[in-house]
Structure 1
Amino acid sequence: MDHTPDPGAILRAPVTPDVALDLVLRMSRPLRPRRVPLLEGVGRPLEIMTGAPCPAGTQAVIEKERVRCEGAVAALPSDFAPFDNIAALGSECRTGRVVLRAGDLLTPLGVAAAASFGMRNVLVLPAPRVAVITTGGELADPDEALIPGRIRNTNGPMVAALLMEMGLDPPLVVRSGDNLDELARAIVGVDRADLIVLTGGVSVGKYDLVPDVMKSLGAEVVFSKVRQKPGKPLLFALREEQLLFGLSGNPLACHLGFSRYVAAAVRRLAGDVAVEDPEWGTITEAIRPSSGRTHFVLAVSTQGGSPDRPWMLSILPTVGAADIFGPCRANCYVEVPPGSQPIAVGDRLGFRWLGKPVRPRSHGCSCGRS
């Protein structure tokens, strides 16, 4: 139906561009949304509310704040044009137009569009189910007493927080000791997960059991090392339709391994196939690259205030791959390619944001007028 986006007065007399004087006409009763009025005399203005249907013959709708009313008499301005403030039938969405496609990101505006077609439910790809397994008999949860020889389990809460930051439900977090059978039971026990994140146990030490347990469970290990710093030990395996990531037990390496690899897999499972290019920022501290390896550095990105320097990158100091205190304010990470020369203050480098949320995507449906 033709309707108006603004409250005001309807004029149904012919509208011409050479009107020089205000029109003083007698007002009739107001029109409200959901109420289709009866036709009244041509030339008599009607009061109309936002969203109400326009009666046949409406020439223009004049905003309420531009109409002067004295009792039942209204003075209308002369500087309006034909069809002002009228949203004509089909002007917003024509017959046959596709509004949502399978694979589109379902934003709040997309939800509103689907609702306008009377769709109460839209088929979407579900958020992936993710489980976290922390390995190591030396780990103590935050509420446990810390005795000599044990360290805090920081990776479990951190990976859970990273997943929730992406918009996922709180994941199941399981602890496993340094025992092959116990670790295998932990993995089998979360069979319903689409993706499993294991922390620790992926290097070459005596108790680094993740590669061996993958073989015992028949999982295909795609890779177990990456030329990067920190986090060279990084495993990815496939077990039927389940994805398994083995991240370093060092918290900083674990965080960067999640941000660079696991987060991308989670988004892909949620239907997000877009490959994001890095942003570019100006370095405020010098960086010495790692020879022959990609070097990931956590940083704080702030707006630079000029077109040629939109982002400024402050590198956060760290003391090894286990340091979680220096870089805990990071909102992004810088990626230094292998073989790079030393990075000087003022150089530009690519960086990626931390914590991009996962959002539902429409799946298997299109919405259009019929």
Structure 2
Amino acid sequence: MVQNNLDFEQPLIELEEKITELTNFMEERDINLTDEIKRLETRADKLREEIYSQLEPWQILKIARHVERPTTMDYINLICDDFIELHGDRSFGDDQALIGGIGKIDNLPVTIVGHQKGKETKDNIKRNFGMAHPEGYRKALRLIKQAEKFNRPIIALVNTPGAYPGIGAEERGQAEAIAKNMMEMAGVEVPIIVVVTGEGGSGGALGIGVGDRVFMLEYTYYSVCSPEACAAILWKDSDKAKTAAKALRLTAKDLLDLGVIDDIIAEPPGGAHKDYKRSADLLKERLTQEINQLEELETDELIENRYNKFRTMGYIKKEVEEKIDESIESCG
């Protein structure tokens, strides 16, 4: 796979190219350069760790948007023993930006819904760049209610810059479709696990984002709006997107600290796009673990825990509340 490298990876890329050159030279000339190559590989591993342990929010956002990042269908193909895609919302049409169906993970039947992006221009146009229409969210809800009827756990894979804001989507009730999904998912009587696998943009993400567990892959973001949109709204200047990315607290680490998500699922070194299989293995391991735990709960307890989980988001700690009060008093 030809990879589109990111600017902050340049020192690492140059080192990896040197390793490749030496390896080829050693094979062509039959010269033993094993020790030198091992030293360079050790340097590369250390440099990779340094780079990825100090990423800025804007750099993480670039990884989350990487064109070669695994899509929902990539993950489905790697974690499921079998999968049948189901189509249509039984009302308007079949949205290619939000897919879903029935699969088996280690012989456990599950329903999976998720945003689907393309890998190249033609496919991205077909998938509308992962921006779902109302019929996409209504299809997802149809499959979610079907899963509830047949007692199948639900997995929702989120990867969208946002719901499609076009005139047709608004005419067909985009906001209503998202709001209804959130309301219905809050009361579904089977386990729901939500994982942000790339971009978690605004209401487009929330439309399939209510669950008993909400996870984020390591190099993803989850936000009320994109940094570009935030910068345009607050400063009337999209060039301040990097500043907005930091202010929005949109990284997995930020959101774990804020209590918005339950945990972070690790990615392979360099990001999920560097090793699809390893990324899928890490995801599958966590999904099976959480499903087994959630299925032990009684239905009433499952729903109550889910309700309380979302009701407590945004709770202000006492010491923070006191600082806010002091700030208000100082302002007169």
TM-score (norm 1): 0.24
Higher helix share: 2
Q: Which has the higher contact order (CA 8 A, sep 6+)?
A: 1
TM-score (norm 2): 0.26
| Bigger CA radius of gyration | 1
